[in-house]
Chains A and B, each alone.
Chain A
Amino acid sequence: MNAPVLSRRSLLLQGGALVVGFSLSGRGASAQTFAPVATNGFAKPVAPDRVDSFLALGADGHATIFSGKVDLGTGVETALSQIAAEELDLPLDRVTVVQGDTALTPDQGPTYGSLSIQKGGVEIRQAAATARARLVQMASERLGIPADALVSQNGTVHPKAGGQGLSYADLVKDGRLDLKVDPAVKTKDPAQFALVGKPVARVDIPEKMTGRFTYMQDYRVPGMVHARVVRPPTIGADLQGVDEASVADIPGLIKVVRQGNFLAVVTEKEWAAVKAAKQLKATWSTWEGLPEQDKLWQHVRATKVTKDDVTSSTGDAEAALGQAARKLEATYDFAIHTHGSIGPSCAIAELKDGFLTCWTASQMTHALRKQLAAMTGLAPEAVRCIYVEGSGCYGRNGHEDAAGDAALLARAVDRPVRVQWSRADEHGWDPKGPPTLIDLQAGLDPQGNVAAWSSQFHIPEGAAGNVPLVAASLADLPHETTMAPGNIIGNSALPYAFPNVRTVCHRLASTPFRPSWIRTPGRMQNTYANEAFLDECAAAAGADPLEYRLRALKDPRGIEVLTRVADLAKWQARPSPMKDVAGDVLRGRGISYVKYELNRTYVAGVAEVEVNRSTGQVRVPRFFVVQDCGQIINPDGVRNQLDGNVIQTVSRVLLEEVTFDRGAVTSLDWSSYPILTFPDVPEVVINLIDRPSEKPWGAGEPSAAIVPAAVSNAIFDATGVRVRSVPFTPAKVKAALQGA
């Protein structure tokens, strides 16, 4: 095992001050070797208003940051280190981050919604600044020098005038950092930043590149056994019988575990579990509760609406539509998508002395802890979830479900159990980004401006929350019965100042698959419809799509990202579509804009596309993006996120769609659910706007929102044909071209 070990012995409460000694032999797995909190009385505070919940200063001059937000492969571990080191006046290599351990880290909410820096980082910054202020105060008292004559630097506080200082370790030895986080604490002047805003190299990358990193999938626990789950062949099938003799020849078989419709095999070695899962004979009832895929949108339209969320209402859209000089209507749809993690989900659970420990790549260990407690009947205090980084998840994928599987199995076999999902488990059983159907109407005034805008989003009810665990549902153990698709009403309202607007989300009582948030949930699909339909208005008005947007945009930061992306892409002002097109391959460009959730990060993008007229094949050779997320912590990390959002979303809009029959998902591997590959990956050209004196906003999601409409708009520009159904497959594009 090659994992960092924060052992029980190294975590001592010394004279009330938490002093942490580290033995760090590798990254990728956080503290893990000691027993659950309730048994050992270890009292690391985790309350979100205490400084020592967030950080500990070691006797060796190192600081340990305890972050409830976790690095899902986005580089946030490095960015959080930068924030903490900056505020503590420590070199970066003297800061280590422990992530997502329910016994050690405060609950800062799930790692979703592009909030790790905006919320998590800001909280750590406040805790660190509070700590630094206290250290200076303590030094002032010890040295008899006024605090304002002292300066903190490189882990010591010393007189500005020169002379002997005191190290942080010296200072905390004499007293506790037992104080409340001061939300009004003066944080460092951005003009003094030495680390924040710099493209610091990621702390995890060397080990990832040399095979020295420990992912969740690599993690091992002494005495551990291996399991594979055997999912029902259809989502609603009941397990009628299991022929255990069918796996009797599997070497090292420990147990076939059956509880309700939950079925799994547990073996000594991993390959034996793979074989046993394949070989096990079980009989299941038939179930055909899914809609026919080719009637999905009729199904969505016919689903019962439980409530309407009116997300914006200005003027009288209905009346204005009636009076408009010209009226436009269109319907957009966005298919059911999966997360598509390259590493299928994996977790380990151990039940010992009435305490459950779960090692998991969950983006929400604190919430998972409660789910596992509810499922097993244990008190939450008897459950500890420890984050170990896994494959990127891009939302709520199967990591939590694998944890549920492991917890159930650990109880069944009384040994630590590692559950590794197969590719088909991940593609078939991770929760899905639900189908999104959007109807839009616009009324134009005689000058072609939008006088009225009305939109209706048909999306499942529910918000962010706990997605029910598969194991709990199958085994009929306590679990949530409400849907949690994420905050999918975001960006249904518009960032433009139109006189009459009404945007309504019809919340549906059900959706074909267990929903959850995929990266940029709702905000991606909604922005796609809004920004593509706005392009239809611009075309109807005979206006340049950029100029048309700027007419109705009053926000200077929004105007800046749009004009800068136009410069970057060498945008030529003219209406779409192109005129006088010739040849088999048509080229076009499209623009798109979002103010994320209408209250933070601004992004604008330009897609360039090539459309093959005879095959309907669309390529996106280049994509330009300009983002203003306020204060940038690590510009290289932000660029990496923008690359990722653009490429992943181009993949989504050109290729991706979960397929299914009446019983289950049928796109169970990478040939039936293809994603974009190297030959077709666009060049992403990025321009960042850094505003060091502004708040830091999220960068992990917003830029995905602008991609689908930019591509749709570019296809229209190239061909004069509007595609309104994601994915824009060759068959759909060809049909649209032939219908034109």
Chain B
Amino acid sequence: MAQPISLDVNGRPAPVSVDDPDTPLLYVLRDDLGLHGPRFGCGLGQCGACTVHVDGQAVRSCITPVSSLKAGAKIVTLEGLGSLDKPHPVQAAFIAEQAAQCGYCINGMIMQSAALLNETPKPDETAIRQALAQNLCRCGTHQRIVRAVQRAAGTL
């Protein structure tokens, strides 16, 4: 039976209905709310492409059942972080560093980095690499991604 759920996504109420309480948040965001930021990469929490913020924390939405979210949890996706006109400082830094090739992983890189900088505003390069150790990139854009995070942190 379809169950109504009220989510708070990118600062707006987002009422959705799910057939299965185990439905991962990723599918609700992409299929019900039409968002493109969080991406399906593995469905196993291994690659980070699906990362979103839940109450400011980086969370793997592909292994987060929608029913596990606390009432009132504030979900932010790459779209909510910033826009083309008003990019978040991390997004602006990634654009300035041209830190993408195919860009499929980039959602996770930006969301994970933005969460890192919230906690640690001036991480050194080792800390950035450690924070992104569970985010996979196959194109080999890692150097530019690290530089983009440094730029956003003002440590470049």
**Which residues of A are at the interface with B, using a C-beta cutoff of 8 A?**
1-2, 72-75, 201-202, 204-215, 217-218, 220, 251-252, 269-272, 274-275, 340-344, 389-392, 394, 420, 422-423, 636, 640-641, 643-648, 651, 669-671, 675, 677-679, 681, 683-684
- Chain B residue at minimum C-beta to C-beta distance from A208: B103
Q: When the two chains form their complex, are residues B20 and A213 in contact, meaning their CB atoms are under 8 A apart?
A: no
Residues from chain B with a CB closer than 8 A to the CB of A220 are 34
What are the 8 tightest A-B residue pairs by CB atom distance, in nearest-first order? A73-B102, A211-B37, A647-B140, A392-B102, A644-B140, A211-B78, A208-B103, A391-B104
Take A342-B47, A392-B139 as given contacts and tell me if A209 and B100 are in contact as well, using a CB distance cutoff of 8 Å: yes
- Chain A residue at minimum C-beta to C-beta distance from B134: A677
| Residue in contact with A269 in the complex, picked from B31, B132, B134, CB distance below 8 Å | B31
Cα separation A679 to B126 with both chains bound (whole Å):
7
Task: State the Cβ distance, A353 to closest chain B Cβ, in Å.
Answer: 28
Q: When the two chains form their complex, are residues A670 and B94 in contact, meaning their CB atoms are under 8 A apart?
A: no
Q: Which of B46, B110, B140 has the most CB of A within 10 A?
A: B140
Task: Digitize B134-151: 1 where CB-to-A-CB distance is under 8 Å, 0 elsewhere.
Answer: 111111111111100000
Task: State the Cβ distance, A384 to closest chain B Cβ, in Å.
Answer: 24
Cα separation A274 to B145 with both chains bound (whole Å):
32
Q: When the two chains form their complex, are residues A669 and B37 in contact, meaning their CB atoms are under 8 A apart?
A: no
Q: Does B71 contact A (CB under 8 A)?
A: no
Q: When the two chains form their complex, are residues B44 and A423 in contact, meaning their CB atoms are under 8 A apart?
A: yes
| Residue in contact with B98 in the complex, picked from A217, A423, A636, CB distance below 8 Å | A636
- Chain B residue at minimum C-beta to C-beta distance from A361: B102
Q: When the two chains form their complex, are residues A669 and B44 in contact, meaning their CB atoms are under 8 A apart?
A: yes
Task: State the Cβ distance, A712 to closest chain B Cβ, in Å.
Answer: 20
Task: State the Cβ distance, B104 to closest chain A Cβ, in Å.
Answer: 4
Q: Does B12 contact A (CB under 8 A)?
A: no
Residues from chain B with a CB closer than 8 A to the CB of A252 are 19
Take A208-B103, A640-B101, A679-B133 as given contacts and tell me if A73 and B31 are in contact as well, using a CB distance cutoff of 8 Å: no
- Chain B residue at minimum C-beta to C-beta distance from A422: B43
Q: Which of B30, B102, B110, B138 has the most CB of A within 10 A?
A: B102
Residues from chain B with a CB closer than 8 A to the CB of A677 are 132-136
Task: State the Cβ distance, A608 to closest chain B Cβ, in Å.
Answer: 15
Q: When the two chains form their complex, are residues B104 and A392 in contact, meaning their CB atoms are under 8 A apart?
A: yes
Task: State the Cβ distance, B92 to closest chain A Cβ, in Å.
Answer: 8
Q: When the two chains form their complex, are residues A341 and B138 in contact, meaning their CB atoms are under 8 A apart?
A: yes
Q: Does B156 contact A (CB under 8 A)?
A: no
Q: Does B57 contact A (CB under 8 A)?
A: no
Task: State the Cβ distance, A637 to closest chain B Cβ, in Å.
Answer: 9
6 intermolecular pairs with C-beta atoms under 8 Å apart? A218-B36, A271-B18, A272-B19, A423-B41, A677-B134, A677-B136
Residues from chain A with a CB closer than 8 A to the CB of B107 are 211
Task: State the Cβ distance, A538 to closest chain B Cβ, in Å.
Answer: 29
Take A212-B79, A218-B30, A670-B136 as given contacts and tell me if A269 and B36 are in contact as well, using a CB distance cutoff of 8 Å: no
Cα separation A643 to B106 with both chains bound (whole Å):
16
Q: Does B61 contact A (CB under 8 A)?
A: no
Cα separation A215 to B78 with both chains bound (whole Å):
15
Task: State the Cβ distance, B38 to closest chain A Cβ, in Å.
Answer: 8
Residues from chain A with a CB closer than 8 A to the CB of B103 are 73, 204-205, 208-209, 213
Q: When the two chains form their complex, are residues B139 and A73 in contact, meaning their CB atoms are under 8 A apart?
A: yes
Chain B residues with a Cβ closer than 8 Å to the other chain, count: 62
Residues from chain A with a CB closer than 8 A to the CB of B134 are 677
Q: When the two chains form their complex, are residues B36 and A213 in contact, meaning their CB atoms are under 8 A apart?
A: yes
Residues from chain A with a CB closer than 8 A to the CB of B40 are 217, 343-344, 420
Q: When the two chains form their complex, are residues B143 and A648 in contact, meaning their CB atoms are under 8 A apart?
A: no
Q: Which of A210, A391, A683 has the most CB of B within 10 A?
A: A210
* A interface: dominant SS: loop
Residues from chain B with a CB closer than 8 A to the CB of A272 are 19-20
Q: Which of B36, B81, B87 has the most CB of A within 10 A?
A: B36
| Residue in contact with B138 in the complex, picked from A340, A423, A683, CB distance below 8 Å | A340
Q: When the two chains form their complex, are residues B98 and A205 in contact, meaning their CB atoms are under 8 A apart?
A: yes
Task: State the Cβ distance, A63 to closest chain B Cβ, in Å.
Answer: 23
Cα separation A272 to B27 with both chains bound (whole Å):
10
Cα separation A204 to B44 with both chains bound (whole Å):
28
| Residue in contact with A343 in the complex, picked from B41, B44, B130, CB distance below 8 Å | B41
Task: Digitize B109-140: 1 where CB-to-A-CB distance is under 8 Å, 0 elsewhere.
Answer: 01000000000000000101110111111111
Q: Does B63 contact A (CB under 8 A)?
A: no
Task: State the Cβ distance, A416 to closest chain B Cβ, in Å.
Answer: 15
Residues from chain B with a CB closer than 8 A to the CB of A684 are 143
| Residue in contact with A209 in the complex, picked from B110, B128, B132, CB distance below 8 Å | B110
Cα separation A610 to B103 with both chains bound (whole Å):
30
Task: State the Cβ distance, B11 to closest chain A Cβ, in Å.
Answer: 14
Take A212-B84, A251-B20, A342-B41 as given contacts and tell me if A74 and B36 are in contact as well, using a CB distance cutoff of 8 Å: no
Q: When the two chains form their complex, are residues B84 and A678 in contact, meaning their CB atoms are under 8 A apart?
A: no
Task: State the Cβ distance, A219 to closest chain B Cβ, in Å.
Answer: 10
Task: State the Cβ distance, B21 to closest chain A Cβ, in Å.
Answer: 11
Cα separation A671 to B47 with both chains bound (whole Å):
10
Residues from chain B with a CB closer than 8 A to the CB of A394 are 138
Please give 12 more A-B residue pairs, beta carbons under 8 A apart, in addition to A211-B107, A272-B20, A643-B142. A202-B98, A210-B83, A210-B84, A211-B37, A342-B47, A342-B104, A342-B105, A394-B138, A669-B42, A670-B47, A678-B132, A684-B143
Cα separation A271 to B42 with both chains bound (whole Å):
14
- Chain B residue at minimum C-beta to C-beta distance from A645: B140
Task: State the Cβ distance, A248 to closest chain B Cβ, in Å.
Answer: 14
| Residue in contact with A640 in the complex, picked from B44, B105, B130, B141, CB distance below 8 Å | B141
Q: When the two chains form their complex, are residues A669 and B19 in contact, meaning their CB atoms are under 8 A apart?
A: no
Q: When the two chains form their complex, are residues B143 and A643 in contact, meaning their CB atoms are under 8 A apart?
A: yes
Cα separation A343 to B135 with both chains bound (whole Å):
13
Q: When the two chains form their complex, are residues B141 and A670 in contact, meaning their CB atoms are under 8 A apart?
A: no
- Chain B residue at minimum C-beta to C-beta distance from A201: B98
Residues from chain B with a CB closer than 8 A to the CB of A679 are 126, 129-130, 133
Residues from chain A with a CB closer than 8 A to the CB of B18 are 271
Residues from chain A with a CB closer than 8 A to the CB of B46 are 423, 669-671
Cα separation A648 to B94 with both chains bound (whole Å):
20
Cα separation A206 to B100 with both chains bound (whole Å):
10
Residues from chain A with a CB closer than 8 A to the CB of B56 are none
Cα separation A509 to B98 with both chains bound (whole Å):
45
Residues from chain B with a CB closer than 8 A to the CB of A641 are 101
| Residue in contact with A648 in the complex, picked from B31, B87, B135, B138, CB distance below 8 Å | B138
Q: Which of B83, B103, B126, B134 has the most CB of A within 10 A?
A: B103
Residues from chain A with a CB closer than 8 A to the CB of B30 are 218, 270
Take A209-B95, A213-B36, A670-B46 as given contacts and tell me if A675 and B136 are in contact as well, using a CB distance cutoff of 8 Å: yes
Q: When the two chains form their complex, are residues A271 and B47 in contact, meaning their CB atoms are under 8 A apart?
A: no
Take A206-B84, A209-B87 as given contacts and tell me if A214 and B36 are in contact as well, using a CB distance cutoff of 8 Å: yes
Q: Which of A204, A208, A209, A213 has the most CB of B within 10 A?
A: A209
Residues from chain A with a CB closer than 8 A to the CB of B110 are 209
Task: State the Cβ distance, B9 to closest chain A Cβ, in Å.
Answer: 12
Cα separation A214 to B27 with both chains bound (whole Å):
16
Cα separation A271 to B63 with both chains bound (whole Å):
12
Q: Which of A2, A270, A340, A391 has the most CB of B within 10 A?
A: A391
Cα separation A731 to B79 with both chains bound (whole Å):
44
Task: State the Cβ distance, A681 to closest chain B Cβ, in Å.
Answer: 4
Task: State the Cβ distance, A700 to closest chain B Cβ, in Å.
Answer: 10
- Chain B residue at minimum C-beta to C-beta distance from A272: B19
Cα separation A104 to B81 with both chains bound (whole Å):
36
Cα separation A81 to B103 with both chains bound (whole Å):
19
Residues from chain B with a CB closer than 8 A to the CB of A211 are 35-37, 77-79, 107
Task: State the Cβ distance, B86 to closest chain A Cβ, in Å.
Answer: 9
Q: When the two chains form their complex, are residues A343 and B49 in contact, meaning their CB atoms are under 8 A apart?
A: yes
Cα separation A202 to B83 with both chains bound (whole Å):
17
Cα separation A409 to B110 with both chains bound (whole Å):
36
Residues from chain B with a CB closer than 8 A to the CB of A648 are 138-140
